[in-house]
């Protein structure tokens, strides 16, 4: 699909750092900061079939990328354990190397169904994927429903409940009578906390027991327990493990907000995403700009003055390193390829998505670096 105009939106002439300062979506701002920090606008599409391949690619290519695109349903042995499973291990790698996880789910159903697919089921995508995407063929309701689900999930995660349990024994004077005991309990009077057997019960200290025996009182084995709850802000995702300093130097961990990309244009030959459909995608994005980060598209879709959307573009391929003037051809299965220079420099997109060009290379790490450098060069030339 060709762009509406050869004149790029003013946002495309701004640096990623400047755009990060102006972005209203927290995850968009974070992503742009990552891109500036790592001098990268590369997303790798990890279309592999085993968890071992996925985690190995993430770890090896992590230093070169800012986004890792996954298809969890391609993984034959995906471990769904929320603390030790595949997603949890992937999250640790993402934190260490500094990239976001984009689950390429392409939701495309009625609103209630996509909400459940996003938040429930075995995968619980919302819990581990920073970004996901939607095919808007069913209409705007799918985007609205996902935005609602993302907001509700974020609100539930906003606070963590902390519980403090204090266990102690009544003061000696509080056991003279049942009435006095009740009064002192209301006043919350305690001696030094005792050794705790289980919540709600404790053993009397030896000194306290002897004092009560001298006073002619029967020692009580029941202690007073106070349980209080308070809420603390949760500014970022929490896990069962302490990652310590396993976060990329120079930036904090990703914000807790989730983001959505709308599939507005495709790189496959003969696709049915016409201009009317693309325009509807942009309109829906503006209506939900607190959740929608941008688009999967072939060109920048920022049109209005205040638009700040990011565009990620698949179908990127470089000619062989030994012949950089060679023509870039399709894959024979409908996929049409473009170079980073065209995707970033001419079409004004922000992130190149590369799959087989990297993961099928003889040296994926070296090839990822080649794509990162070419993509970054195209961006620097564009803003210059």
Active site positions, annotated: 104, 106, 109
Exposure letters 173-209 (e unless 16+ CB within 10 A, then b): ebbeeeeebeebeeeeebbeebebeeeeebebeeebb
Q: Is 69 annotated as a binding residue?
A: yes
Which CB contacts under 8 angstroms, 24+ apart, belong to 118-125? 118/146, 118/149, 118/150, 119/149, 119/153, 122/80, 123/72, 123/73, 123/78, 123/80, 123/87, 124/82, 125/72
Q: Is 164 annotated as a binding residue?
A: no
**Dihedral angle over CA of 241, 46, 312, 252, nearest 10:** 20
Distance CA 145, CA 118 (A): 10
φ, ψ (nearest 5 deg) of residue 293: -85, -30
Q: Is 236 annotated as a binding residue?
A: no
Task: Name every residue whose Cβ is closer than 8 Å to that of residue 130 and which is 6 or more positions away in sequence.
Answer: 27, 100, 101, 102, 254, 258, 259
Q: Is 238 annotated as a binding residue?
A: no
Q: Is 355 annotated as a binding residue?
A: yes
- Name the pairing type of β-strands 224-233 and 159-168: antiparallel
Task: Name every residue whose Cβ is closer than 8 Å to that of residue 66 and which is 6 or more positions away in sequence.
Answer: 31, 34, 35, 38, 40, 41, 42, 43, 98, 99, 100, 351
Q: Strands (DSSP E) along the chain, which ranges?
A: 42-45, 67-70, 100-107, 131-135, 159-168, 196-198, 201-202, 224-233, 259-263, 292-296, 310-313, 351-354
Q: Is 197 annotated as a binding residue?
A: no
- Give yes or no for a contact between 312 and 261, defined as CB atoms under 8 angstroms apart: yes
For residue 368, give the nearest of 299, 315, 318, 311 by alpha carbon: 318
Distance CA 37, CA 142 (A): 34
Rounded alpha-carbon distances, angstroms, from residue 351 to 196, 213, 309, 343: 57, 78, 12, 8
Binding-site positions read 47, 69, 267, 335, 355-356
Binding-site positions for substrate read 47, 69, 267, 335, 355-356
């Amino acid at each position: 699909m060709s762009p509406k105009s050869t004149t790029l939106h003013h946002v495309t002439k701004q640096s990623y750092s400047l755009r990060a300062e102006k972005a209203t979506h927290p995850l968009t701002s974070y992503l742009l900061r990552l891109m500036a920090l790592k001098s990268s606008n590369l997303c790798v599409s990890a279309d592999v079939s085993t968890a071992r391949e996925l985690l190995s690619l993430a770890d090896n290519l992590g230093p070169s990328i800012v986004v890792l695109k996954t298809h969890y349903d391609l993984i034959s042995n995906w471990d769904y354990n929320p603390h030790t499973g595949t997603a949890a291990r992937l999250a640790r790698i993402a934190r260490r190397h500094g990239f976001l996880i984009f689950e390429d789910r392409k939701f495309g159903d009625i609103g209630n169904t996509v909400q459940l697919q996003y938040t429930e089921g075995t995968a619980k995508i919302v819990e581990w994927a920073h970004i996901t995407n939607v095919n808007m063929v069913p209409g705007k309701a799918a985007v609205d429903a996902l935005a609602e689900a993302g907001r509700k999930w974020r609100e539930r995660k906003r606070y963590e409940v902390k519980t403090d349990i204090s266990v102690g024994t009544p003061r000696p004077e509080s056991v003279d009578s049942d009435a006095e005991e009740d009064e002192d309990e209301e006043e919350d009077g305690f001696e030094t906390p005792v050794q705790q057997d289980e919540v709600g019960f404790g053993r009397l200290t030896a000194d306290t027991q002897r004092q009560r025996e001298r006073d002619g009182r029967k020692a009580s084995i029941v202690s007073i327990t106070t349980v209080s709850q308070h809420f603390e802000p949760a500014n970022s995702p929490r896990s069962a493990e302490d990652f310590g300093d396993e976060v990329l130097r120079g930036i904090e961990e990703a914000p807790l907000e989730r983001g959505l990309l709308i599939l507005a244009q495709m790189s496959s030959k003969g696709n049915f995403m016409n201009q009317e459909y693309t325009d509807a995608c942009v309109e829906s994005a503006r209506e939900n700009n607190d959740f929608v980060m941008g688009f999967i598209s072939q060109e920048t879709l920022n049109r209005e003055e205040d638009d700040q959307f990011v565009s990620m573009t698949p179908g990127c391929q470089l000619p062989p390193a030994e012949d950089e003037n060679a023509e870039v051809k399709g894959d024979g299965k409908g996929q049409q390829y473009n170079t980073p220079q065209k995707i970033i420099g001419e079409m004004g997109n922000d992130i190149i998505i590369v799959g087989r060009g990297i993961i099928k290379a003889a040296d994926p790490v070296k090839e990822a670096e080649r794509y990162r450098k070419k993509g970054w060069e195209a961006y620097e030339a564009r803003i210059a």
